């Protein structure tokens, strides 16, 4: 009996030693992988990127055209980059399925642009309308921590103006209350992301201050 207990003790000790060593090796591997992953993110490379955001029909395309004309900075639409990568187009109702999957296509496309080493503008959103629910929802925070824009311009407009644009351009009827809620959601998230990334943020209140937004970009 004494010998059996000793053998059990030895086996238990060996098992404990193995478990401890395995745990140490696992922790070291996790730390090394985390360091590698962070280094990869920090060295995505390329030139600075400016993010132009705002809800549908707020005038992002028009503003990007002004910036390109006055500052000579190339502009790209997030939806166009995603559509090109997926070989598909988005419907005029702006309802989006597979929101998170689309962001992976976007990140890959933006990485290619960054590798050119030039400044560029990305026209996109902080929130999108989910096709399943018909309600706006936030794009994942990981998308923006990976994009890491140097500056953000959030375009806003009077809800009634956007309602009219949506009806004229897309044939979609929306209420001013819905648009206001959507804009407030976009604005709140833009502020949170800018603070987290320490990115400079300019919030435009409408067509009247677009020149001020361009001056903001000129000062960067």
HEC letters along 135-148? CEEECCHHHHHHHC
State how many domains the chain has: 2
Residues 94 and 1 in one domain: no
CATH of the domain at 157: 3.40.50.300
Q: Which of residues 134 and 20 earns the better pLDDT score?
A: 134
Q: Indicate if the pLDDT at residue 35 is higher than 70.
A: no
Mean of pLDDT values over 117-136: 90
Predicted pLDDT of residue 59: 96
Task: Give 31's contacts (C-beta < 8 A, 6+ positions apart).
Answer: none
3-state secondary structure of 167: helix
Residues 105 and 194 in one domain: yes
| Minimum mean pLDDT range among 5-14, 44-53, 65-74, 94-103 | 5-14
78-105 residue pLDDT tens: 999 998 888 855 444 444 457 778 888 8
- Token look-up 């707020």 returns 58
Residues 17 and 98 in one domain: no
Residues 27 and 57 in one domain: no
Residues 135 and 160 in one domain: yes
Q: Which of residues 7 and 139 earns the better pLDDT score?
A: 139
Supply the range of the domain harboring residue 2: 1-43
pTM beyond 0.85, yes or no: no
Residues 95 and 27 in one domain: no
- Cβ contact 119:48 at 8 Å: yes
Tokens of 219: 């000062």
Residues 60 and 142 in one domain: yes
Mean of pLDDT values over 114-140: 91
Q: Which of residues 211 and 34 earns the better pLDDT score?
A: 211
């Amino acid at each position: 009996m004494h010998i059996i207990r000793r053998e059990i003790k030895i086996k238990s000790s060996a098992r404990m030693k193995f478990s401890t060593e395995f745990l140490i090796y696992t922790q070291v591997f996790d730390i090394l992988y985390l360091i590698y992953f962070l280094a990869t993110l920090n060295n995505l490379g390329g030139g600075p990127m400016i993010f132009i955001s705002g809800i549908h029909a707020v005038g992002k395309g028009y503003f990007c055209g002004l910036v390109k004309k006055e500052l000579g900075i190339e502009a790209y639409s997030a939806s166009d980059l995603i559509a090109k990568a997926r070989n598909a187009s988005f419907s005029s109702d702006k309802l989006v399925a597979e929101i998170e999957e689309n962001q992976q296509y976007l990140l890959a496309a933006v990485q290619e642009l960054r590798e050119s080493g030039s400044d560029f503008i990305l026209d996109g959103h902080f929130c999108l309308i989910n096709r399943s629910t018909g309600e706006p929802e936030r794009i994942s925070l990981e998308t923006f921590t990976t994009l890491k824009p140097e500056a953000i311009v959030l375009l806003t407009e009077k809800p009634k103006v956007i309602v009219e644009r949506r009806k004229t351009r897309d044939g979609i009827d929306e209420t001013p209350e819905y648009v206001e809620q959507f804009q407030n959601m976009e604005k709140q998230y833009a502020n949170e992301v800018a603070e987290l990334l320490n990115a400079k943020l300019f919030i435009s209140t409408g067509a009247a201050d677009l020149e001020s937004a361009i001056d903001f970009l000129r000062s960067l």
